[in-house]
Amino acid sequence: MRCRLAAPLALAALLAALAPRPAAATFHIKSALLRELGGAGAGGTRAARPARSSPTGCPFSGNAAIDNKLDVPESLRDIVKGVDFPGDSGVAPDVPPPWLDRAKFERGQAFARKNFFSLAYAEVLSLIINFLFPGELQPLIFTQRSSTVYSSYKRYLDTVNRVKSWYESDPWKVGSVAYQNMATVRGYHLDASRRLTQLAQTDPQTLKLNTTFGLNGDPAHIWSGPMVERMCEDARAAACPSDYVDAVLKDRDVTTRVHLNQFDMALTQFAFSGLIATYPERFGLHGNLERELDAFCHVWAALGYALGIEDKYNFNLGGLAATRQRTRDVLEHLVRPRLRTVNRDWEHMLRVLFEGLALYVPGSSFDASMLFLMETLGLPAPRLGAQVGRNARLVTSTMTFFMEGVMRVPSVRTWANQELANNLRRANGASARWDDGIRRRSYRYEYLPFPGRYQCS
């Protein structure tokens, strides 16, 4: 397949190509690492941490007793209870939700088709956030369908195609492409949660080993440099520890968690809709779009229902206003503290994702996207900025200029969407030879040793 570089972020692509690669890493199993992992979702006793404080004053610190002190904002009070329930309600695939407004749903689908470029970028950025939650990241490491650049490229290309079909046809009409994809995805989810649950019961130690790269000898390589440490330093200055988030979400221990639960599903709805609904201009959407964005939230409420999310956990029920409130609360109360918990699994899965994406969306850069996200969330990241270097910072500024300025021109928006559609078409029609070339490519991280820490200190 010939991948034309006339992409929406062409300038950013050029700059990204010039950007230095992060320090590469090969990661060998070590007893010290095993000790570190004890407190990082791999079971074991969590070492006592010294009490910490932040300039704003933290509700909890260190290992403070947190039971009965859970401070969950109103908008998320029901949704977080979803951690105890399996993510698929078992709803019939051909029965739409009773509250479905067909006209609104179709208006939301039309909006999504017209603005697919913006939506896709917001979704990719959201994965940086979602991977902060072990319930979202560990099942993906476990299934091994997106752990290398090639597998990740294929996996997310499939994801884009399936989600796109949900914007193009009726998900409840038996035989439609959207309907078939809905069934396939529910099947994937059920299969993954069944396998995870079974292993938790029969062989919890193997489950721990198979849900992190840190403990694995094979593959021994993960792609991670000093970013984790820099992120931690920035996050520590900006947020409190995440103990209360851990207590609310009960997601630290992979052997006891309800896998792919209702909360995890709602958080993925956030990934598809939250940033775009709340910060549309950051993704090139300008003008008064409240009605369209509201319809788009309705689409995601309905798709969530079709995937098995019960109404009380549905992130998008209540429309645009509710989605925005929940998004702000998720970012403030769950994400900010969790930024302190980034680790090498998180970084590796994101780096391979962005590298795979760059094969059909030129200009995709993890470093620049990290900065762009922190800027979007209004979180200062001076150490991260210094770490990623001048070229990545330049790409971030170019992206901001493109999204907030250039995309105001309607013909540019049309062009950006068209380019993405063309690139997707080419990637989907790629020859086996081209695919093979990608599979055989090697990356520096696969060879260089890196005796680094697993997570922030």
Binding site for ligand HEM (CB under 6 A): 136, 139-140, 143, 145-146, 155, 158-159, 162-163, 185, 188-189, 192, 260, 264-265, 268-269, 304, 307
In this complex, which beta carbon is closest to ligand HEM, that of residue 139 or of residue 225?
139
CA 423 to chain centre: 22
CA 448 to chain centre: 27
Residue 348: φ, ψ to 5°:
-60, -50
Q: How far is the CB of 147 from ligand HEM (least distance, A)?
A: 9
In this complex, which beta carbon is closest to ligand HEM, that of residue 146 or of residue 423?
146
C-alpha closest to that of 314 among 257, 251, 269: 269
In this complex, which beta carbon is closest to ligand HEM, that of residue 24 or of residue 140?
140
C-alpha closest to that of 452 among 252, 234, 228: 228
Evaluate the CA torsion angle 18, 386, 22, 430 in order and state its sign.
negative
Considering only the C-alpha atoms of the chain, give the largest distance between any 2 of them, rounded to a whole number of Å: 59
Q: How far is the CB of 165 from ligand HEM (least distance, A)?
A: 9
Which value, to the nearest 10 degrees, does the dihedral of the CA atoms of residues 272, 275, 276, 280 take? -170
In this complex, which beta carbon is closest to ligand HEM, that of residue 41 or of residue 304?
304
The neighbour count for residue 102, using CB atoms within 10 Å, is: 10
Q: How far is the CB of 93 from ligand HEM (least distance, A)?
A: 14
Distance CA 285, CA 118 (A): 7
Q: How far is the CB of 152 from ligand HEM (least distance, A)?
A: 9
Q: How far is the CB of 295 from ligand HEM (least distance, A)?
A: 18
Q: How far is the CB of 130 from ligand HEM (least distance, A)?
A: 8
In this complex, which beta carbon is closest to ligand HEM, that of residue 167 or of residue 279?
167
In this complex, which beta carbon is closest to ligand HEM, that of residue 86 or of residue 225?
86
Q: How far is the CB of 252 from ligand HEM (least distance, A)?
A: 15
Three-point CA angle 167, 169, 173, nearest 5°: 135
The pair of three-digit structure tokens given for residue 151, joined into one six-digit string: 């597998």
Nearest residue to the partner ligand HEM, using Cβ: 143
C-alpha closest to that of 153 among 329, 387, 419, 353: 353
Q: Are 304 and 265 in contact (CB under 8 A)?
A: yes
In this complex, which beta carbon is closest to ligand HEM, that of residue 159 or of residue 431?
159
